[in-house]
Amino acid sequence: MIGIEEREAVLRVMDRGVLSGYQGNWSDAFYGGEEVKELEKEWAAYFGVKHAIAVNSATSGLWAACAAVGLQKSLELDRILEIKDKRVTHLQVMSDEVIVTPYSMTCSASIPLHFGAKPIFADIEEDYYCLDVKSIEERITERTKAIIVVDLFGQPYDADAINAIAKKHGIMVIEDAAQAIGAKYKGRYAGTLGDIGVFSLNRHKHIQCGEGGVVVTDNDELAFKLRLLMNHSEAVVNDAAIKEDIFWEYERLVGMNIRMTELQAAIAREQLKKLVGILQTVREHAKYFPVKVRPDCEHAYYRYAFPERKSPMEWANIGLSLKEFNTKRHYITPLYKLPLFKALGYDQEQCPVCQDVEEKIVLCWLKGVG
């Protein structure tokens, strides 16, 4: 889906000679260059959000989101021991917990580990493959800080039910919409349904700029934290505090450089213009596959995912040329079975629906898209 428009956009940046407009200090360049700023404005307008922050990948965006909601581990008093008239305090590491899915790309479960937080696997829905609301509720504890929901294969999560539980318990919802760009739930775009949403622009997605991502939120406080975190917050806060006597409340944020370049942003701007046409194409082909769509949702069909019921010949017999499609009878191994999570003691995790789905699922997608 790369064409002359993207080529011209890249040349526009090359002719300008500035490949990144960012500086890691409190100045106009803190917000990036012309292409990045325009992409963020266009993205926010398209998806109907207050804030859109361009980053270098969706994985980086998830990291920034987890940092912005304050994931951490801390030392807390466990008990006081009396030993020969001496009081001995015993400190215990108490980690935040984040409820995650076992059935997605690894980063949606592994990112909390960067903060010393503990990912807690909940089971998935049998028909829609997103996190199951009942399984989430069973796993909420006093340490639960956030839920990372994934709009898997382009299907929006059960936003009303999960958001209600999160609100009840004072938990933040981070929405991984990497696979669901353009999907909708009750008229709202996937990625805008939780407290923070994360989109992917890597080469496998409907629209792309090689590598890249966009983080969105309607929360002003979270948005400013996200901007600090993705662009050397400790240096920016220091400069701002010296110059303007503000921002000391953010002095403990430790930032990174996860900024998008002008070249990526220029390509992404052109790709965004093509999204409607791409979605129309993948939705036209959805009629050939028995994909279940959540009520009141518009699926983005990153993958046509369904239990195996038809052979390739049966698909051909319904008038579909399989030469147009890639087909795969497996997605991923449930994450708690991976060496990392097994080493951390997750080998006994039980998610029976996920186990069943793994054995039966079929994935198809249109060649040239994703």
**∠ CA 188-192-193 to the nearest 5 degrees?**
75
How far apart, in whole angstroms, are the C-alpha atoms of residue 148 and residue 172? 9
How far apart, in whole angstroms, are the C-alpha atoms of residue 145 and residue 55? 24
Per-residue pLDDT of 157-174, as tens digits, reads 999 999 999 999 999 999
Strands (E), the chain: 51-55, 73-83, 86-95, 97-100, 118-121, 144-150, 172-176, 184-185, 188-189, 196-200, 213-217, 297-298, 304-307, 325-328, 361-366
Instruction: Give every residue of the chain whose pLDDT is below 50, as ranges.
Output: 75-80, 91, 318-319
Identify the three-state secondary structure at position 331.
Answer: coil
Q: Which two tokens stand for residue 45?
A: 């307008």
**∠ CA 355-357-362 to the nearest 5 degrees?**
140
Q: Which two tokens stand for residue 139?
A: 């796993």
The pLDDT value given to residue 225: 94
Per-residue pLDDT of 281-337, as tens digits, reads 999 989 888 899 999 999 999 999 998 766 655 655 544 555 677 888 889 999 999
Cα 175 to its chain centre, rounded Å, is 5
The pLDDT value given to residue 43: 98
CB 168 within 8 A of CB 179: no
Nearest CA to 306 out of 343, 361, 253, 266 is that of 361
Which is the catalytic residue, given 145, 205, 225, 337?
205
Q: What is the dihedral of CA 32, 5, 280, 46, to 10 degrees?
A: 30
Domains, the chain, with CATH or none: 4-273 (3.40.640.10)
| Burial class (CB within 10 angstroms; exposed 0-12, middle 13-18, buried 19+) of 219 | middle
Q: Would you call 205 a catalytic residue per the annotation?
A: yes
DSSP 27-52: SGGGG--HHHHHHHHHHHHHHT-SEE
Interhelix angle 262-273/34-47, nearest 10 degrees: 30
CA dist 199 to 55, 111, 160, 188, Å?
10, 15, 20, 15
How far apart, in whole angstroms, are the C-alpha atoms of residue 205 and residue 370? 5
Q: Which two tokens stand for residue 301?
A: 């069909």
How far apart, in whole angstroms, are the C-alpha atoms of residue 339 and residue 333? 11
Q: What are the φ/ψ torsions at residue 97 (nearest 5 degrees)?
A: -115, 145
Identify the three-state secondary structure at position 301.
Answer: coil
